Chains A and B, each alone.
Chain A
Amino acid sequence: MKILVCITHVPDTTSKINFTDNNTKFDTTGVQFIIGPYDDYALARAIELKDAIAGTTVTVLNVGPADTEPTLRKGLAIGADDAIRVNAEPTDSFFVASQIAAIAKETPYDLILMGRESIDYNSGVVHGIVAELLGIPSISPVMKLDLEGTKAKLAREIEGGKEYLEVSLPFVAGCQEPIAEWKIPNMRGIMSARTKPLKVVEPKAADSGVKLQKFELPPPKGSVKMIPADNVPELVNLLKNEAKVL
């Protein structure tokens, strides 16, 4: 079985977000980049399936310039067999999804896994676009995924609950916790990742019809009003008469 896991290269979850160039570029100063947390869940589940099903291979894919390669290498260290980097700035969801679909058209995969959304642009649409371009089912956000031959059983989160589903391979899943436990690369994984194949391919043209104009930061928060612990009714008074939310 061949599994493709699409991973994003995103600022660490604790990063302070700033912009430069008149609010048109993300400021990478001092920012640590990581595999997107949701993508990390997808990758962890793929590795579990590889360990459970003989003959399974896992390919990690990222659409990004050369400086995302350490993120791909981390995917290899966690246990993927090979990696593909589409050499392009990931400008928007449709562009990224088109690159993934183009790769999957050349080499059919039985399963395409990715995070439910990236934590930078939070679009949550790449899995759906990829699946639509390939003409296969898409399911998201997936919190459980088990395979029985060519059939899959999944659980999907819905507002205030869960849905259980069945679908046949191939399909695309947007993953989230608790689908698997995150895997931490060990020394052997890190060493072997250096020699695993990482293929670089050039992007295909794809026009999404969206254009970024500028970024904006939320206005700074005013200071907190502290209420003494022995005067709880004052909080209720403020919520009622000042904030007017009660």
Chain B
Amino acid sequence: MAILVFVESAEGKIKKTSIEAVAYAHALGGPVTAIALGAVEKAELEALGKYGAQKVLHVADERLSQGIIQAYATVLEKALQDEGADILVLANSSLGTPVAARVATKLGASLASNVVELPKTDGGFVVKRSIYTGKAFAWVELKNQKKVIALRKNAADIKEVGSPVQVTPYSVTLGDADFATKITSSEKATGEVLLPEANIVVSGGRGMKGPEHWGILEELAKTLHAATGCSKPVSDMGWRPHHEHVGQTGVKVAPQLYIAVGISGAIQHLAGVNSSKYIVVINKDPEAPFFKAADYGIVGDAFEIIPKLTEAIKAAK
């Protein structure tokens, strides 16, 4: 049961969600080949061996430094065939999931996205996927020999199980159709912790009263090495950028710790955060529905509590 893992990178570094995909593939048990596309640092590629990759393929084609869905699907289909792999594992991300769809279709593979656990393999290959935006799960059997699994973030534990490996150059002939989509430019949030990958998220809602008050949340986030998020009205009003909007119609997060400040806890917001391991709610209204979904709560004014919390964390460090 050979397994291929597609690893995504940004600015030359392998993404954490992709290292999780390697760890998941290792736990599945097959020999694991990882494949990376475009400009990636050599040491990063070699280090994939530590997390369970026996082999690392690198397609150093500069054109693939940008995530072009069709071109990536073509490369992965070929690599699966060349490696004799039956299973493709990748991250359930804005790139991984659309790529998974196309590769699975090319291969006639059984496809599952949003997978949250290792499969049950006694009697079939049955994966657990998150549905209804985290409000439920479905167990689905992947019946075909070939399988494509898009893994939700934080669904696999990263462990060091091996040592660095040599990187094998790999190439695939690509045609015009693979590059039918042209990426003309991009805007990336750099130098900060990215929301979808963060271990800790500090989120603010309408209770923060205005964008000028976000400084205290950013200070808290910085102290915790956390990403910042927000509720939908906050991004709708332009207080914060759209990509920070968490919830049913925004980013779904699954951090170790989610701190919600001045957010009421509407069901659509909860849908995006209920996979968090621990939830802290700070709200001045003791009746705020968010307290029902929280592990820890403080009833109080955010403008008093947050600076105190930041101080207390600094003191405890």
Contact = CB atoms under 8 A, between A and B. Distances in A.
B141 A127 contact: no
A235 interface: yes
B258 to A, nearest CB: 10
A229 B197 CA distance: 30
A146 interface: no
Nearest to A156: B94
Interface string A230-246: 00110111111001011
A8 interface: no
Select the residue from A97, A119, A167 with max chain B CB neighbours within 10 A: A119
A107 B236 CA distance: 37
Contact of B113 (A37, A123, A157, A239): A123
A140 B278 contact: no
A221 B292 contact: yes
Contact of A245 (B104, B200, B305): B200
Contacts of B291: 224, 226
A87 to B, nearest CB: 23
Select the residue from A122, A135, A162, A168 with max chain B CB neighbours within 10 A: A122
B305 A178 contact: no
Nearest to A133: B105
Interface in A95-130: 97, 119-129
Given A166-B184, A236-B312, A127 B98 contact: yes
B257 A232 contact: no
Contact of B278 (A119, A161, A208, A245): A245
From DSSP, what is the main secondary structure of chain B's interface residues? mixed
A128 B139 contact: no
A120 B132 contact: yes
Contacts of B154: none
B136 A217 contact: yes
Contact of B298 (A19, A93, A221, A229): A229
B312 A216 contact: no
A166 B195 CA distance: 27
Contacts of B131: 120-122, 215
Given A119-B248, A213-B140, A129 B104 contact: yes
B272 to A, nearest CB: 11
Nearest to A37: B249
Interface residues on B, range: 35 or more
Select the residue from B187, B271, B296 with max chain A CB neighbours within 10 A: B296
Contacts of B73: 132
Nearest to A125: B101
Given A123-B113, A211-B141, A37 B197 contact: no
A225 interface: yes
A135 B113 CA distance: 22
B186 A124 contact: no
Interface in A192-218: 208-218
Nearest to B66: A163
Interface in B213-243: 224, 242-243
A176 interface: yes
Given A119-B248, A125-B101, A164-B183, A225 B297 contact: yes
A53 interface: no
A96 B301 CA distance: 48
B186 A138 contact: no
B126 A213 contact: yes
A158 B95 contact: yes
A180 interface: no
Nearest to B224: A246
Interface in A158-177: 158-168, 171, 174, 176-177
B27 interface: no
Contacts of B224: 246
Interface in A1-56: 11, 13-14, 17, 19, 37-38
B78 to A, nearest CB: 15
A143 B194 contact: no
A94 B108 CA distance: 10
B298 A216 contact: no
Interface string B75-116: 000000000000000001111011111101110111111100
11 contacts: A37-B248, A92-B140, A119-B132, A122-B113, A128-B105, A136-B180, A139-B98, A158-B94, A163-B185, A167-B182, A243-B295
Interface of B: 10, 15, 66-67, 69-70, 73, 92-95, 97-102, 104-106, 108-114, 126, 128, 130-144, 150, 177, 180-189, 192, 194-197, 200, 224, 242-243, 248-249, 256-257, 267-268, 271, 274, 277-278, 280-281, 291-301, 304-305, 308-309, 312-313, 315-316
